[in-house]
Amino acid sequence: MTLAILQRTDRFVSVVWPSGLHGMNGYLFLLPAVALVFILVIALGYMLEFSLHELDLSTYRLKEAYSLTNYQTILDRPVYLRVLWRSLLAALIVTVITVFLAFPYAYLMVRTSSAATRKFLLVALFLPFFIGQVVRAYGWLIILGKQGLLNSILTGLGLPALDLIYNYPAVILGLVQYMLPFAVLLLTPAVAAISEDVELASESLGANWLQTFRHVVIPMATPGLVGSSVVVFTLTLTDFAMPEILGGGTSDFIANAIYDSYFQISNIGLGAALAILLTLIGSALVALMFMIAGTGTLAVTEAEE
C-alpha cells in the first residue's frame, strides 16, 4: 500500500522534475525566496502605479490621469520633510549608538575565557528576541511613563517628576534597545573570524591594545560592521512601533506617516508615494554604505591564511 503510493509519487516526480534536471536540485530550495521577492516587486510596482494618481476628493478614489501631484505634495508640506528628516536622523543616531554598544558586547562574548560569562551574555542576547517590539515598547512606558517606575522613585525622593516619554529621545532609546541584539548577532561571527593570534601578533609587533584595535580588529571586522550598520539603519528608518508608542504622535517616522495616509486620511496615492520615497532613499543610502566600505564587504571574508 505505502509502497504503491511511494512508487506513484516517484513516477509523478519524475515527470515534473526529470532526472536531467537533478543537477539543479540545489536551486529548487531557492524557489520560495525567489517567489517572495517576486511578490514584493509586484507589490512595489502597484505602489508606484498608485503613487502616480492624485486623490479625487469628490469621490475619494484615485483619478485616472497620471501626475506627480502626490510627490509635489510631499515636497510642499513641511510636515513630511520633517518626518523624513526625523526618520533619517534617528536611523543615523540609532545605528551609531547601537553598533558602538554592540561591538564590545560581541567582542567580549567571543573572547572571554570564562564559559559562565559567555553563557550569560548569550542568554541576555537571545532573551529580548522572545519579547516582541510592542511589548518592549510598553515595558518602557511602565518604566518611563508619567506614573512610571522612574518617576515614582523621583517623587519618592522628593524630586519633581520628569517628562520622560512621548519625545524623540525616548524613541531613540527604545530603538537602540530593540536593535542591540540584532547588531550583536551580526557582529559576533565577524569578530569570531578574527583569530586571537592576529591580535597577539599585533601586540608583539609593538602595538598597544588601542592601536591593535584600530589597525587590526576594526579593519578585519569591517564586513560585520557594515552588515550590522545596514540592518540597524534600515530597520530603524522603516520602524513603526517605537515612534508610535514611545513617541505618542510627537515623533512620527515615515512609516507612521504612511500608515496615517492610508488609514486616517485614506489617501492611498499619497501613502504609496511616501512608501516609494522611503524605498528609494533607503536603497540609495544602503548602496552608498556598501560603496564607501568597499565592494564585496558582505561577500565571504577573504581567506585569512
Partner 1 sequence: MVEICDVSKSFGDFRAVDDASLALPKGEFLTILGPSGCGKTTLLRMIAGFSKPDAGKILINGGEVENVPPHKRSIGMVFQRLALFPHMTAAQNVAYPLKMRGFDTKTIPDRVSEYLKLVRLQGYEERRPHQLSGGQQQRVAIARALSFSPDLLLLDEPLSALDKKLREEMQLEFRRIQQELGVTTINVTHDQREALVMSDKIIVMNAGRIQQSDSPEAVYRAPSNRFVANFVGLTALFGGAIERVDDEGVVVRVGELALRARAGEALTPGASVDCAIRAEQIRILADDEENDTGRFDNTVTGKVDQRIFEGDRMVYQVTVPKLADATLFVFDHDPTHHAERGQSGALKLAWNARDMLTFPTNP
* Shortest distance, position 171 Cβ to partner 1, whole Å: 37
Identify which of residues 133 and 301 has a Cβ nearer to partner 1 in the complex: 301
- Give the CA diameter of the chain: 81
Chain residues binding partner 1 by CB under 8 A are 195, 197-198, 200-208, 211, 215-216, 219-220, 301-305
Rounded-to-integer distance, Cα 229 and Cα 187, Å: 10
* Shortest distance, position 191 Cβ to partner 1, whole Å: 14
Rounded-to-integer distance, Cα 67 and Cα 147, Å: 50
* Shortest distance, position 202 Cβ to partner 1, whole Å: 7
Identify which of residues 122 and 205 has a Cβ nearer to partner 1 in the complex: 205
* Shortest distance, position 289 Cβ to partner 1, whole Å: 18
* Shortest distance, position 304 Cβ to partner 1, whole Å: 5
Rounded-to-integer distance, Cα 12 and Cα 6, Å: 10
Identify which of residues 22 and 215 has a Cβ nearer to partner 1 in the complex: 215
Contact 282, 198 (CB under 8 A): no
272 Cβ neighbours under 8 A, 6+ residues apart: 47, 48, 49, 50, 51, 70
Identify the helix (H) or strand (E) that includes residue 187: helix 168-192
- Rg (C-alpha) for the chain, rounded Å, is 25
* Shortest distance, position 196 Cβ to partner 1, whole Å: 9
Rounded-to-integer distance, Cα 51 and Cα 269, Å: 4
Identify which of residues 180 and 216 has a Cβ nearer to partner 1 in the complex: 216
198 Cβ neighbours under 8 A, 6+ residues apart: 216, 220, 304
Grid coordinates in use for 19? Answer: 532526472
Q: Is 227 exposed, middle or buried (0-12, 13-18, 19+ CB in 10 A)?
A: buried
* Shortest distance, position 115 Cβ to partner 1, whole Å: 12
Rounded-to-integer distance, Cα 180 and Cα 100, Å: 10
